[in-house]
Structure 1
């Protein structure tokens, strides 16, 4: 993916050399969570990370994996608090949809994560299911990217 300008920020594929910068904007990794840091390093090494940045640095990142029934899955979307409300999350979701290599692209979020649900709704994603038991007392809502949702399922 080439860098794409979206107003006052750019979206591009991250490289392994971006690992520390991505860790530096991830609120979980910054608290010292070694597992999250390891995930970020692996995602960057595998080329699964897309970042949004401006002149000040990284504003957010998105990870697309292909382990969800062999379909694309946005496994992580994080935008720094100061960059929220500027279209960064939408830009990252749109980049994920544009670069997805499978007919369908899914994501999920907790029922308690109202900001993410609003973002997905504005971006045209459709709710497709609910799973209990992943996070105790906070079911997971699954969404399908409407722009990619009409493809056939591969065996």
Structure 2
């Protein structure tokens, strides 16, 4: 059974390991650590296995913004990202939830769309030639 909850500081190393599997380095160590301490990091587990995590904040024009969703490569396509999205929707203090992904990230587009998110715009010039597509969901 998969369970989603707030990450604890004891989870830091396993989250860094997953992030490193995906991006190839530990450059987000401090960002992840800070999100854990500030209770802005959710983790999904199945038994002893940490499958993935999500980082959010509530400062996007007064709305919740999901800034990072990472699922371990071997745990993908099992509904883990959807579980994380559903949990942040349940705990969000705002009625609007936003997130974004690069145009090239087809799997994340399918995940957002499959969870009822719709495109809300795009941001150019973050990654040359690969605009960031902003997604939105009205919670209530």
TM-score tier after normalising by the smaller chain length: over 0.9
The 2-side partners of 1:120 and 1:60 are apart by 16
Q: CA deviation at 1:130?
A: 1.0
Which runs of 5 or more residues in structure 1 are unaligned? 1-7, 149-155
Deviation (angstroms), 1:30? 7.3
Taking a change above 3 Å as real, the CA distance of residues 143 and 24 of structure 1, as seen in their structure-2 partners, is same
TM-score of the pair, normalised by structure 2: 0.92
Instruction: Give the match for residue 30 of structure 2.
Output: 38
Which residue does the alignment assign to 2:61?
A: 69
Query: Which residue of 123, 133, 149 corresponds with 2:125?
Result: 133
Distance change (3 Å), C-alpha of 1:32 and 1:130: closer
**RMSD (Å) for aligned C-alpha atoms:** 1.6
**Aligned residue among 123, 126, 137 for 2:115:** 123
Count of residue correspondences:
140
Match of 2:14 in 1: 21
Q: Select the structure of larger CA radius of gyration.
A: 1
Match for 2:82 among 59, 73, 90? 90
Q: Which runs of 5+ in 2 are unaligned?
A: none
Match of 2:5 in 1: 12
Q: TM-score, normalised by structure 1?
A: 0.84
Q: Tell me which residue corresponds to 2:51.
A: 59
Task: State the 4+ residue runs in structure 1 displaced beyond 2 angstroms.
Answer: 27-34
Summarize deviations over 1:40-71 as a string: whole Å, max 9, x none. Answer: 11111111011000124200001111221121
